[in-house]
A and B are shown apart, each in its own frame.
Chain A
Amino acid sequence: MTAIAAERYTGASIKRSEDPRILTGAGRYVDDIKLPGMLHAAFVRSPMAHARVLSVDVSAARALPGVVAVLTGADLEAMTVPGPDALMALMGWAGPTPEFTLLATDKVRFAGDPVAVVVAESRYLAEDGCELVEVDYDDLPPVVDAAFALDPGSPPLFANLGDNIARPHSRSESGDVSATFANADRVIDFRIDVHRHQNAPMEGRGCVASYDTDLGVMTMHAATQSVHVSRIAVAMRLGIEQDKVRVLAGDIGGSFGLKIGASREELAVAAASRHAGRPVKWVEDRGENLAASGQAREESFDVRAAVSQDGDLLGLDVKMVIDTGAYPGMGAMVPDIVEAMFPGPYKLAALGFESTAVTTNKASYVAYRGPWASETFVRERILDLIAKDLGLDPVEIRLRNVALRTDPPAAMVTGRPLVGVTSKESLQRIAQLVDVPAFRRRQAQARAHGRYLGIGVATFIEAAPGPRSPEGPSGPMGTESMRLRLTEDGIVVLFTGQMPHGQSHQTTLAQIAADEFGVPFGQVRVVVGDSDVVPFGLTGGSRSATMAGGVALHGARQLKAKVLDVAAHLMEASAQDLLITDGNVWVRGDPASAIAVGEVARRAASEPFGADVDANLEVVATFDGGEGGWSGGTHCAIVDVDVETGIVKVERYVAVEDCGALINPAVVEGQIRGGVAQGIGAVLLERSAYGEDGSFQSATFMDYLMPTACDVPRIEIEHLETVPLDADVNFRGVGEGGMIVAPPTVVNAIEDALSPFGVRIYEQHLPPARILELIAEADPGR
């Protein structure tokens, strides 16, 4: 019918528009920013885990040529406004609220706690200045583990709390817990630990703060997952009206949850810039990043499982303790998500859940890719342990317990409906892909030759964004907004509060908008990273695909309707008869009528229209997540464990994933693989290690071991796209799933490999030395 062909971008592995700058060194990261008169900051940090600060002598540092200012905790306290952690305040935290300063004043609370900041003409000189700051400490007993923190006799880190409880003990029950346990054939007890590890993005934290003394305006160039959360944090602590704080962000070298808002150091740098009246840059070095940026997990779970003789998981009773480190962060809020997600996709009839969060003399808790992931680790670990006790196959016990898709959908015992969940399909598909019987034969042959292979599977679901709930929007962090404009050059500009740091939003959101509006991909520009021009938003919680993808789609639709209204007047046609294809508006059936969308915008700006036509070609769209839905899937690892050295090699890794409709398969698969790599690292290599005295023992990449190209295998991925729930938006988030499910997948495989020795595993960190210990403990005669 027509010579004008529409090209569809959504669903194709469109090459990223971010890459030409990234591949040529033209990306602009925060450390690449240079402002006239810019100074450099470095922090003096505590070598002690817990100590009173008796004195801080900065006189020698202040006298060093090139040093412009040295600020202590007391100096900073006088220049800033006390208050809670901005992110926790935004999230509505109402529990214990420790009073803390940006730099230590009366005491230090972990090895790496900042005590003073030196501002100088260069980073080299600032570090020279740090060497000259004399701090006199008086040791306090370190509170290094959760057990001691729970002891009412442990010395409180924060005087205003009086103890080390960051979240008081609480218990709740979903379903009939006592009846479920009373009717169970077996009740099995487990204690499972998840170790402390951390984000370690390749670029650490950093900022350039630039205070304009005349205007009273703070401009902060930041590496952040949300320019708005950073803006709010700076405004709160510095006592500046929010409209006088502008946060800008360019390219960001990864984050994984670390860089949400502004950290204590970044706020101190902002205050230092206001004090000095000059721009100040701070970029943390790797030692600071590992010791002081924040760490995650470190949770213990005492679990009782009610089980039937046939392998039905009937109920769980869980006691969780989370060690949130020194300063307040979202760790105290994590148990709520862990509890809600604990049933996973399974037909659990009852869940008892109690939790406590404690404060210790270690780096502060930060979000790390799937902060609640331990629910999946514990549950998927327990299912394998139960399967072993009952002689069931790991796939079989899961198929037996997963909720099937029914109408109305089954619900988790903690409340949320399991609408559209394809756990059963992913389990069945992965069993086919890896051919479990064939593997078992190979495993038996290998064992006969002293080689220990193992297979592990684990299943997860992730609320990305989660199903629509009857009471309102389904997005876990509220609605998502986007401003869209058609320029006179014919460019559709999207202003988004998403702050990509590897997620490729400048490509994926453009794909969606280009299709919906009807312009070539290159005619869509995605603007991020300026709190003065983008709407509120946050990249995190795997929310972008649905929430930002959805608002891009609906926003482009709304903008298109406006453009067609204007074009209808210009072209003397009915808007219903107009199409936009390949950047041109044309009358259906008459390709010769086509005019470029930029021409429509130019005439909209220059020609008079009646009051009935809105010629302002800009919209602000909002999306509530639509019908939402779950992401999820099943992963399988095959490992080869060398029982002489304890080295584990992941021989094969297969993922069957369902994140609904794919926007860009290469981007989706990159997210999955990256998450799996972090999960493999968490199990085999990574641990944020502390000594008994609270000293930090993994402050370099020689001590904190990151997975390399030789540790991560090819990861085979197959996608299920089985259940569209929404009329338009069926993209679901995929950012966290790999990191959520890979740890139990790999640990399950290791336990399977070591089953001839009778090894049972109740922990997540399994470096070679620990593998050898587990074998020796299980099989002392060996």
Chain B
Amino acid sequence: MADITLRVNGAACTGSPEARKTLADFLRDDLNLTGTHVGCEHGVCGACTVIIDGRAVRSCLMLAVQAAGCEVTTIEGLAADGELGALQQAMWDSHSFQCGFCTPGFVMQATAFLGDHPDADEQQIREALSGNICRCTGYQSIIDGVLLAAQRNRQGATGNAEAGRP
């Protein structure tokens, strides 16, 4: 066991994970942040992606103790005030997802990518998300969501945050 201190979704937190515990398991088990999903445990599917110090990282390939002193953002940190973020809203509007298991990973990966590449085109987005696997959608609706978010970001527009509407 090692005592670590890190910031998660803007708040300081401490923990004493076993040295072998992955960051994904630490977030899920110790911090109850179950939005981060574990899909393959070997870094291929991207479901466990979180943002660490501004970069998208696979939390199944990182030990919790390696995150000591880091700033970690998980899916729960994107709509902290209860309002969907611009990307989440665009993905809702685009019917991006089905079962939702890969969703946190895609949202975190795309959040990090759009932050660095606000003007990305479709092919660049596809390549940026090609390390995340979705089994349900065929990807088009996810790509459309990211493109819509990028477009709205450029235009300063927002979506309609109401259920039951097209």
A520 at the interface (CB under 8 A from B): yes
Residues of A close to B74: CB separation below 8 A: 25
B92, B136, B166: which contacts A19 (Cβ < 8 A)? B92
A94 at the interface (CB under 8 A from B): no
A712 at the interface (CB under 8 A from B): yes
A700 at the interface (CB under 8 A from B): yes
B20, B35, B45, B138: which contacts A712 (Cβ < 8 A)? B138
Give 1 or 0 for each of B151-166: 1 = CB within 8 Å of chain A CB. Answer: 0000000000011111
Residues of A close to B101: CB separation below 8 A: 29, 201-203, 251, 253-254
Contact in complex: A25, B92 (CB < 8 Å): no
Contact in complex: A25, B36 (CB < 8 Å): yes
Give the interface segment out of B51-59, B63-71, B75-83: B75-83
Number of interface residues of A (CB under 8 A): 61
Residues of A655-706 whose CB lies within 8 A of B: 666-667, 670, 673-674, 676-678, 700-702, 706
Contact in complex: A203, B39 (CB < 8 Å): yes
Residues of B close to A25: CB separation below 8 A: 33-36, 74-76, 104
Residues of A135-191 whose CB lies within 8 A of B: none
- In the complex, residue of chain A having the shortest beta-carbon distance to the beta carbon of B18: A124
B1 at the interface (CB under 8 A from A): no
Contact in complex: B95, A701 (CB < 8 Å): no
Contact in complex: B33, A23 (CB < 8 Å): no
Alpha-carbon distance between A285 and B95 when the two chains are bound, in angstroms: 28
Alpha-carbon distance between A26 and B84 when the two chains are bound, in angstroms: 12
Alpha-carbon distance between A124 and B30 when the two chains are bound, in angstroms: 14
B23 at the interface (CB under 8 A from A): no
Contact in complex: B42, A502 (CB < 8 Å): no
| Chain B contact surface mostly | loop
Contact in complex: B84, A23 (CB < 8 Å): yes
Contact in complex: A714, B127 (CB < 8 Å): no
B103 at the interface (CB under 8 A from A): yes
Contact in complex: A286, B127 (CB < 8 Å): no
Residues of A505-541 whose CB lies within 8 A of B: 514, 520-522
Alpha-carbon distance between A254 and B136 when the two chains are bound, in angstroms: 7
| Chain A contact surface mostly | loop
Give 1 or 0 for each of B118-159: 1 = CB within 8 Å of chain A CB. Answer: 000000011101111111111111110000000000000000
B49 at the interface (CB under 8 A from A): no
Whole-angstrom distance between the Cβ of A282 and the nearest chain B Cβ: 14
Contact in complex: A678, B135 (CB < 8 Å): yes
Residues of A248-281 whose CB lies within 8 A of B: 251-254, 256
A31 with B163: in contact, given A202-B99, A674-B136, A709-B129 (CB under 8 Å)? no
Contact in complex: B37, A29 (CB < 8 Å): yes
Whole-angstrom distance between the Cβ of B34 and the nearest chain A Cβ: 4
B102 at the interface (CB under 8 A from A): yes
Contact in complex: B84, A20 (CB < 8 Å): yes
- In the complex, residue of chain B having the shortest beta-carbon distance to the beta carbon of A510: B164
A20, A202, A706: which contacts B92 (Cβ < 8 A)? A20
Add 18 more A-B contacts to A201-B101, A677-B139 (CB < 8 A). A17-B164, A23-B79, A24-B75, A24-B84, A25-B75, A32-B34, A34-B32, A200-B135, A202-B134, A252-B99, A253-B102, A254-B101, A254-B135, A522-B163, A674-B136, A701-B44, A706-B45, A710-B130
Closest 4 CB pairs of A and B: A25-B35, A253-B101, A521-B164, A22-B100
Q: List 27 A-B contacts (CB under 8 A).
A: A9-B164, A13-B95, A16-B95, A19-B91, A19-B92, A19-B97, A23-B88, A23-B97, A25-B33, A25-B74, A25-B76, A27-B35, A27-B100, A29-B37, A202-B134, A202-B135, A251-B100, A253-B100, A501-B99, A503-B98, A514-B164, A673-B141, A677-B138, A708-B132, A709-B143, A710-B126, A710-B130
